[in-house]
Amino acid sequence: MLKTLRIVFTVIAALCVAAIFPVGTLLHWIWAAGLAVVAVICACLMLFCKRKMEEREQKENPEPDFLSPKDENVKK
């Protein structure tokens, strides 16, 4: 779910960035600024989803601690 949201937010942000110059040229700079704000919001949401996904993966697969005994480092 989070991976799908990351992809969706990335695509939306990229489309908004690509549309800034044509929209600013044809309509008005306020519309271009609005697209820039939407692109930044989508990028922030993408990074938020990435962080949550990495936290979830870290909980599921913790890194081994090399200072503890070998029995504790074995994945079950």
Domain ranges of the chain: 2-61
Residue 56 CB coordination number (10 Å):
11
The answer to whether 49 and 56 have CB atoms below 8 angstroms apart is: no
Kindly report whether the global pTM for this prediction surpasses the value 0.95: no
- State residue 71's pLDDT score: 59
- State residue 55's pLDDT score: 86
Q: What is the pLDDT along the chain (76 residues), one digit of tens a residue?
A: 878 888 999 999 999 999 999 988 898 899 999 999 999 999 999 999 999 988 888 888 777 666 666 655 555 5
* Length of the chain counted residue by residue: 76
The answer to whether 12 and 48 have CB atoms below 8 angstroms apart is: no
